[in-house]
């Protein structure tokens, strides 16, 4: 576990980070079966320690997050908000947001329940919104290399820069729903049970 907690804007962002972070032991499978313990610190905000099991080697992984306190909790918003600020993530880079986008779209394509499928597409759109927060140069259609936090992500960008075009991301977002239609709202109980990436307290 890192000495200093990772900074996450929300529990949702912390969970999504764990989805795209390999096991610290075998560097393969993602960490699943997440359980969290929260300590509220008056000065530092909410500190959450999350433990989980690697899907590949079965090893136990532990991560600690400092959560921002800026609005209603995830449980009060549907779909849960990733980041209510204009600041980009400090723990998930552009390449990882695009990976999460693809994961959400794939899950939506396999989902038979229309409400759940549409909710997943909304959350996929949120991943694109988060990726676009890294595009801070109005004259450049590509993000800066500083938007990639590791060699693997940076290598993907250098090998296929066209995949990271700002306009491409905007076009992908335009194909996704922004919110559930009124006729499908009020189905949060059905939707919440399919959030496989949420931790348990």
Residue 166 falls within a domain, yes or no? yes
Closest CA relative to residue 161, chosen from 153, 149, 172: 153
**Is the domain of 50 the same as that of 106?**
no
At 44 the pLDDT is 62
At 77 the pLDDT is 56
**Is the domain of 69 the same as that of 100?**
no
Q: What is the pLDDT of residues 144-183, one digit of tens each?
A: 999 999 999 999 999 999 999 999 999 999 999 977 665 5
Residue 83 falls within a domain, yes or no? no
CA distances from 30 to 19, 56, 119, 157 (A): 6, 8, 23, 22
**Is the domain of 162 the same as that of 135?**
yes
Whether 91 contacts 83, CB under 8 Å: no
**Dihedral angle computed from the Cα positions of residues 153, 154, 158 and 160, in that order, rounded to the nearest 10 degrees:** 20
Residue 200 falls within a domain, yes or no? no
How far apart CA 69 and CA 157 sit, in angstroms, is 33
Q: Comparing 98-107, 141-150, 189-198, which segment has the lowest mean pLDDT? A: 189-198
At 73 the pLDDT is 52
pLDDT band at 1 (very low <50, low <70, confident <90, very high): very low
Q: Can you give the pTM of this predicted structure?
A: 0.86
pLDDT band at 190 (very low <50, low <70, confident <90, very high): very low
- Token readout for 122 is 């909304």
102 or 187, which is more confident: 102
**Is the domain of 72 the same as that of 106?**
no
The three-point CA angle 26-21-143 to 5° equals 135
**Is the domain of 127 the same as that of 166?**
yes
How far apart CA 148 and CA 116 sit, in angstroms, is 31
**Dihedral angle computed from the Cα positions of residues 102, 90, 196 and 178, in that order, rounded to the nearest 10 degrees:** -60
Half-sphere exposure of 38 (CA within 13 A, CB side): 13
**What is the extent of the structural domain holding 54?**
6-76
Counted domains in the chain: 2
């Amino acid at each position: 576990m890192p000495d200093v907690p990772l900074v996450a804007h929300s529990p949702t962002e912390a969970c999504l980070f764990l989805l795209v972070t390999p096991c610290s032991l075998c560097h393969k499978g993602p960490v699943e079966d997440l359980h969290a313990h929260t300590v509220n610190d008056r000065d530092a905000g909410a500190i959450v320690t999350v433990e989980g099991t690697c899907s590949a080697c079965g090893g136990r992984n532990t991560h600690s997050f400092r959560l921002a306190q800026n609005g209603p909790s995830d449980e009060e918003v549907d779909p849960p908000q990733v980041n209510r600020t204009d600041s980009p993530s400090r723990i998930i880079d552009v390449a990882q947001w695009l990976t999460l986008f693809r994961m959400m779209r794939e899950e939506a394509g396999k989902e038979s329940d229309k409400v759940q499928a549409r909710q997943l597409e909304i959350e996929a759109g949120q991943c694109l919104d988060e990726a676009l927060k890294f595009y801070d140069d109005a004259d450049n259609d590509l993000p800066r290399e500083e938007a990639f936090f590791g060699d693997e992500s940076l290598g993907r960008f250098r090998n296929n820069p066209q995949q990271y075009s700002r306009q491409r991301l905007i076009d992908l977002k335009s194909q996704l729903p922004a919110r559930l239609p009124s006729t499908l709202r009020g189905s949060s109980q059905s939707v919440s049970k399919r959030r496989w990436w949420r931790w348990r307290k």
